[in-house]
Chains A and B, each alone.
Chain A
């Protein structure tokens, strides 16, 4: 068990280091000179050269990479070229939108998917199962940004219950802010919930065929208790794996969804930064997202041991 944990940790760290090199290398080949971009087209070559020196852009590649990584560790991400503010401030401000959005979406999709999966698995082959899985099949096929447009049409344009887009900021009060995150969160959650419900169902069906389920039933435990206490717990590993993978999808999904709803979040920030060639922002945010994905998958791996005591005892 300990060696397993150590191996997983080492792999996660190695992946992180390699990912940082890839991000750095990719942005090196991106066209566009940041110094030229900051000074505008009218600046002379000398001025640009001076600024390049000041920004440390003329230092050797390896040195620049090490400086960047060192900066990441001390939370000094550099300054944005286009916003002229420290990147860390931008990220902090945008995370206040994106993180709640992703968490609400994740919570929503789990709250929907697990009961639907349980319902379907316990009614396998019957009408309820067919309807639920048909809906899930449809949910997987719906692009989240189109679903978002339809939600806007129904709930914002037609019923006028929620704003069609924009974000008032947490300063405007918790409820108005939450209200503007509601539709985006639902749009993000639906396709995820559909996938998760299917995985939960098939994992449960696999478990329900096991001998110990028959034993539990034979000793007189009610079906509901068997389902929740024995089956669900044993089916958790594939479900957790998918939840971990979905986190990456969710982060990427925010890029499009934040664009649909004009939310000032991390996804919109990185998308704008890419189109504006604000490389410092792009590398910092991409690195942050990649680190988040690696961390979540590591946590998922470690949580197997919590869910499944058999893994823990294998010392």
Chain B
């Protein structure tokens, strides 16, 4: 597979050097890495067992023993935040995978074919966009029952038209270029051209959109599990923790503060990472939201 980069004189080390000078990228990269490390570490070690209830320790304020305090069952909030990261990341990441896996081929196909196929696919896209995503996610989880897997499906479905749109727009800009014409003259089929020439050229675009959708997925998962439609107890999830915290705001505000901060930091990190990548690889690109 040949890779076509817009600025051929730029080598990998040039890009890396630029990356380390880009503060948004560095901050986003470090934050994302830390959150990932926290989620992975939670498999091996957490300060306390998140499934053990110690009623005598309930709603304790943050202390040296419990950095983030404890909840109404005496569970350690820091441990729950760590384990909750797994759930958030897994749901959002797989939802991005679904969106890319289906959306990118659809968008690339629409761009390659054009005409009626393109028109029809874009109208289907319009249709999906007409449904407020969260409302439909609630309906989907209501049909199939609440749970992490159904949350993934619900969020993933709404990633599909986003990636289809980005892939199509990106591909449409590539198709009129000379090297595509050359590939055509060489007798390559439109599928071959799409795979070998179009997709590598829109990879950056998709990567940036991927980080945006990843961040949005974390927010959507938190919303769904706040409404009781995401991961089910005893599996800790950030949204569910916020729901439990709501009625106890007066006695235990830390129950709401720390899971919320975990969401904010994670989403912030991913957005900075996306901004950074977009900046480094194409200074002219503007994020489309």
Residue of A nearest to B272 (CB): A137
Give the complex CA separation of A271 and B219 in angstroms: 18
| B132-A289 in contact (CB<8A) | yes
When each residue 171-213 of chain A gets 1 if its CB lies under 8 Å from chain B and 0 otherwise, what string results? 0000000000000000000000001001100100010000000
Q: A11-B123, A26-B143 are in contact. Are A138 and B132 (CB under 8 A)?
A: no
Tally of contacts, chain A with chain B, CB under 8 A: 121
Chain B positions within 8 Å of A30 at CB level: 142-143
Nearest CB of chain A from residue B166's CB, rounded to whole Å: 15
Chain A positions within 8 Å of B205 at CB level: none
| A143-B249 in contact (CB<8A) | no
Contact among B135, B222, B265 for A270, CB-based, below 8 A: B135
| A142-B264 in contact (CB<8A) | yes
| A293-B130 in contact (CB<8A) | yes
For residue A168, CB closer than 8 A to chain B, the reply is no
When each residue 243-284 of chain B gets 1 if its CB lies under 8 Å from chain A and 0 otherwise, what string results? 001100110010011011001110110011001000000000
| A137-B268 in contact (CB<8A) | yes
Give the complex CA separation of A288 and B136 in angstroms: 13
Give the complex CA separation of A298 and B275 in angstroms: 30
Nearest CB of chain B from residue A269's CB, rounded to whole Å: 12
Residue of A nearest to B146 (CB): A275
Residue of B nearest to A148 (CB): B246
Nearest CB of chain B from residue A203's CB, rounded to whole Å: 9
Give the complex CA separation of A37 and B139 in angstroms: 19
Give the interface SS of chain A, mostly helix, strand, loop or mixed. helix
Residues of B bordering A, CB below 8 Å? 123, 126-127, 129-135, 138-139, 142-143, 215, 219, 222-223, 226-227, 242, 245-246, 249-250, 253, 256-257, 259-260, 263-265, 267-268, 271-272, 275, 286-287, 289
| A15-B223 in contact (CB<8A) | no
Chain B positions within 8 Å of A255 at CB level: 134-135, 138, 227
| B263-A290 in contact (CB<8A) | no
For residue A29, CB closer than 8 A to chain B, the reply is yes
Residue of A nearest to B131 (CB): A290
| A290-B289 in contact (CB<8A) | no
Residue of B nearest to A249 (CB): B132
- Tell me the A57-115 residues at the B interface (CB within 8 Å): none
Contact among A18, A206, A251 for B132, CB-based, below 8 A: A251
Of A48-56, A118-126, A149-157, A227-235, which binds chain B? A149-157
Chain A positions within 8 Å of B250 at CB level: 157
For residue A248, CB closer than 8 A to chain B, the reply is yes
9 pairs of residues in contact across A and B, judged by CB atoms under 8 Å = A143-B260, A149-B260, A150-B256, A206-B286, A248-B129, A256-B226, A256-B227, A286-B131, A293-B130
